[in-house]
Amino acid sequence: MRDEDSRYEAVRSRDGRFDGAFFFAVETTGIYCRPSCPATTPRRHNVRFFATAAAAQGSGFRACRRCRPDAVPGSADWNVRADVVGRAMRLIADGVVDREGVAGLAARLGYSARQVQRQLTAELGAGPVALARAQRAHTARVLLQTTGLPVTEIAFASGFASVRQFNDTVRQVYDSTPTQVRAAAPRGREVRRATPGAGIPLRLAHRGPYLAAAVFDRLAREAVPGVEEVTGAPGTRTYRRTLRLPYGTALVAVAERTAVPKAGGGTRPGGWLDARLHLTDHRDLTTAVQRLRRLFDLDADPYAVDERLGADPRLAPLVAARPGLRSPGAVDPLEPAVRALAGQAGAERLVRRYGKALDAPCGSLTHLFPEPGVLAEAEPGGPLGALAAALADGTVRLDPGADRDDAERALLALPGMDPATVATLRVRALGDPDVAPPGAAVPEAWRPWRSYAVQHLYVAGEPIR
């Protein structure tokens, strides 16, 4: 939706389908909002539109305290697009700029820092530093309002280089001091302030309908003992797992029940999954959240997917029966690769033999999934060892910013890799929404959502032909 008059109509109707796709700001108030904001619709001549929250912040606008535009799901474009801007946005969301700087981001993309700056600014109205800064501000607000951590610790955990930079950014984005942001935390809701040792409670937002049951069914079937588990009865299940992160480790829990906000007029914007994270280093919060979002496919646009696939005669009844069906991803690209190459039993064996044991096991969660370098040394030779070695030395990249076509060519060059396995990795590890099984005669009309079409057939138990 690029036409500004069309965007204004979305704002007037409070259409939550476009939350995260663009933002609008009101010149008379100095505030920017998501399209579904329940506040009184401003006059057209007072409204400006921005592609990102960072662009709105860079123009001097503050985040609305009512609709929290900084907390909306990311634009679904970043999942779909395979160009440098889409790849850059996925890497920034994963915290690469905070950890490696703009130079590290550019190196991963294969461009110069100046080229990356120019392309992001031209399309999004903000460069990588501003985009990462907006993300840090959101992380800071979450930590301020859900934990009792000292403000100084939150500043560095959010990725800021100094407490002064942290204070200045929070004031600019939220028009409040960090202490005031903490005092304004919502009360009386399910996810309350964390107590010491209780972890960080979060709402993992999604747009539109979300068929959680199908995702949890798949996670339960694929769970690797020691690393993952799904407990509880259908409808009230909890997915728990360990995570290896850049600065430390984590134990995470995500509830199956999808919460939906009260309708405030217009199209209902979606809902969220309740989660709780126990991090050994709070600097990993942003990365942990983003990896969970990829696993649960929370940044998808179900409206676009269902509209396209629902027009197909074969898929129409499946889409009608399961609106909001997602295509799950992975938190670690090695995990789906090991399942594909070694099977479920093989993955469990590798975890027991080579996974790092947690210092403090939590129930059945006892290990981290093995690192590529460890598997490469322990299992030399064979397809699994070759893949692990390629991931360890960077010959194959399956991170969020990897070029999908380059990754496919590199994977196919490895011993034992066949097109079917590579297709699986494009979907699960690289989050490609448009993958068809090799040799399957799927209609072109299913593009660019063939991965979701295949998921519908899989869940329905229908053959892919």
What does the pLDDT profile of the chain (465 residues) look like in tens digits? 468 889 999 999 988 888 888 999 999 999 999 998 999 999 999 999 999 999 999 999 999 988 888 887 777 777 778 899 999 999 999 999 999 999 999 999 999 999 999 999 999 999 999 999 999 999 999 889 888 889 998 998 898 989 999 999 999 999 899 999 999 887 644 444 555 567 898 889 898 899 999 999 999 999 999 999 999 999 999 999 999 999 999 999 999 987 776 555 444 557 899 999 999 998 999 999 999 999 999 999 999 999 999 999 999 999 999 999 999 999 999 999 999 899 999 999 999 999 999 999 999 999 999 999 999 999 888 899 999 999 999 999 998 889 999 999 999 999 989 999 999 999 999 999 999 999 888 999 999 999 999 999 999 999 887
Kindly give the pairing relationship between strand 200-207 and strand 270-279.
antiparallel
Tokens of 79: 């999942």
Q: Which residues, 6 or more positions from 279, have their beta carbon under 8 angstroms from its beta carbon?
A: 199, 200, 245, 248, 249, 250, 285, 288
Residues of the chain with CATH 3.40.10.10: 4-71
The total of other beta-carbon atoms located within 10 Å of residue 233's CB is 7
Backbone angles phi, psi at 359, to 5 degrees: -65, -35
Q: Residue 416 region, left (φ>0) first, then alpha (ψ -120 to 50), else beta? A: left
The total of other beta-carbon atoms located within 10 Å of residue 61's CB is 26
Roughly what angle, to the nearest 10 degrees, separates helices 113-124 and 84-93? 100
Backbone angles phi, psi at 358, to 5 degrees: -70, 145
Rounded to whole angstroms, the Cα distance separating 227 from 218 reads 15
Which of the listed CATH numbers 3.40.50.1820, 1.10.10.10, 1.10.20.10, 1.10.340.30 matches domain 334-433? Answer: 1.10.340.30
Q: What is the pLDDT of residue 269?
A: 58
Contact between 357 and 377 under an 8 Å Cβ cutoff? The reply is: no
Rounded to whole angstroms, the Cα distance separating 293 from 205 reads 9
Residues of the chain with CATH 1.10.340.30: 334-433
Kindly give the pairing relationship between strand 62-63 and strand 31-33.
parallel
Rounded to whole angstroms, the Cα distance separating 444 from 447 reads 6
The total of other beta-carbon atoms located within 10 Å of residue 386's CB is 21
DSSP 82-128: -SHHHHHHHHHHTTHHHHHHHHHHHHHHTS-HHHHHHHHHHHHSS-H
| Amino acid at residue number 413 | A
Q: What is the pLDDT of residue 145?
A: 87
Q: What is the pLDDT of residue 2?
A: 60
Question: Domain 4-71, what fold?
Answer: DNA Methylphosphotriester Repair Domain (3.40.10)
Q: What is the pLDDT of residue 191?
A: 41
Rounded to whole angstroms, the Cα distance separating 250 from 209 reads 28
